Amino acid sequence: MKTINPFESAMSQLANAYGVLKSKIKDQKSKIELQNKIEILKQPQRILNVVIPVVMDDGSMRTFQGYRVQYNNARGPYKGGIRYHPNVDLNEVKALAFWMAMKCAVADLPLGGGKGGIVVDPKTLSSRELEQLSRGYAGAIADCIGPDKDVPAPDVNTTGQIMGWMVEEFIKIKRAEVGMPWFSPRQGPDLSSIHKGSTAKAVTRLETARLPARYFDSLRSTFTGKLIKDGGSEGREEATGLGGLFVLQSVLKKLKADSRKLKAPLAVAVQGFGNVGYNVAKFLDANGFKVVAVSDSRGGIYVEEGINPGLTLDCKKKNGYLAGCYCSGSVCDLKKGRVITNEQLLELPVDIIVPAALENVITAENARKIKAKVVLEMANGPTTPEADTLLYTRGIPVIPDILSNSGGVSVSAFEWEQNLKGQHWTKEDVNKKLKKKMETAVDAIWAVSQKQKTDLRTAAFVVALTRILAAMK
């Protein structure tokens, strides 16, 4: 099997959309201007390469390789998650950062795109080691992040708890930087010793130190996807999955108008059972879809009657694996289902497949074997450009990642806004705003795809690029 470089895939998607944009321009001057801006978008603006030392529980020292890629900030601070995975590499993080820039523009957020990653299998670390690694990473990138610079969040294998460690470490560093490591948010700083004989420089430091506790609190907005107790937003944890449901429902309405043969209850196979996979399965199940298959990195299960995602998750937690967790209705029964591979899952005779794990799972090799009528991309970059073409010619719409999974970053943006304004919105409010955002994004992309006669991915890129290019100087 040939290895696929996700950054090359990302650049080929950029080239496609550029082709569409270019074909609409008549005058030479605008053509050159477009070409020049696209040239800038072919590379990230900044790449941070960090090494994080961790003293392991056995006393030995291990160093971990980490990255933060700041792709583009034309529309606002860089925004994007941090991934912990043994296969993280720079090309992957560059691609993910590029997709974040596009995704934030698709959702019309005042944010750019970035992404981070650490080469690590977090399952092999103790909780103390994981905390040290996460704090070390936050410290290593602290100079380059902040609410107005770069706002990281969770991604594959990172959680609200990890964001909590990171934000705490970041605020600790910022306090130390103003020379007030003893600054107490409750009492405010004791400035008396510094007042005596202060130099101009000390005054500047003093000014910063006089910042109210509110300032350091607002630094919480440097990370999103935090636990509620650390300043997180209601609804953030489920947002990617719920956003996926809203996008799918919206697109299906448009496809129906297209007289496609899709009859309820629609059968769905979900690849991945992490935060995104589980939540999307849960919301689909609760909204009249029949989730017949789910999987994790070790393989999947198929239950013809339809899986109960909540019971299946409980069973997986108890056993440590999905096999045997054939939970349907209110019971789990070994006779109800069977084990399948991750590859088989994508080729099941279902209505919709939902890749919700990692990139490059739908390739030129299996695209011909896909029987589903719609692909909802909840992972980032699950479909290669060759597979995209094959599916398009077969008339199978692919709802692209930068649209389908933009619910997560949208609620991240809500969290950022709430932190900056010192507000806490209700879950009902958050979900209402999320629904509106997803529907508006679908409408814009659908309209472009109809007008330009393109697939939905190219249309999403055209929408995103148009917004980013307008913000570029």
3-state secondary structure (DSSP) of residue 271: strand
The residue (of 6 and 337) whose beta carbon lies closer to ligand GLU is: 6
Residue 425 identity: W
Least separation in angstroms between CB 414 and ligand GLU: 10
Q: How far is the CB of 246 from ligand GLU (least distance, A)?
A: 15
* Residue 292 phi, psi dihedral angles, 5° rounding: -100, -15
471, with CB counted inside 10 A (0-12, 13-18, 19+), is: middle
Output 83 or 316, the one with its CB closest to ligand GLU.
83
Of 103, 115, 254, 282, the catalytic one is 115
Q: Cα(166)–Cα(162) distance, rounded to whole angstroms?
A: 6
Task: Please say if 115 is a catalytic residue.
Answer: yes
Report which residue's Cβ sits closest to ligand GLU: 81
Do you find a cis peptide bond into 265, omega within 30 degrees of 0? Answer: yes
Taking the complex as a whole, how short is the minimal distance between the CB of residue 81 and ligand GLU, in angstroms? 3
Name the minimum Å distance from CB 112 to ligand GLU: 11
User: Residue 167 or residue 315: which is nearer to ligand GLU going by CB?
Assistant: 167
Please say which residue, 249 or 380, places its beta carbon nearer to ligand GLU: 380
Query: How far out from the chain centre does Cα 88 lie?
Result: 15
391 φ, ψ to 5°? -65, -40
Nearer to ligand GLU by Cβ, of 233 and 363: the residue is 233
Interface residue list for ligand GLU (CB under 6 A): 79-81, 103, 153, 155, 224-225, 380, 405, 408-409, 412
* Contact predicate 152/117, CB 8 Å: no
Q: How distant, in Å, are the alpha carbons of 1, 90, 157, 199 from that of 15?
A: 25, 21, 31, 55
CA 325 vs CA 309, 338, 385, 390: distances in Å: 10, 9, 35, 34
Half-sphere exposure of 325 (CA within 13 A, CB side): 25
CB 38 within 8 A of CB 14: yes
| Nearest CB to ligand GLU, comparing residues 274 and 310 | 274
Catalytic residues: 115
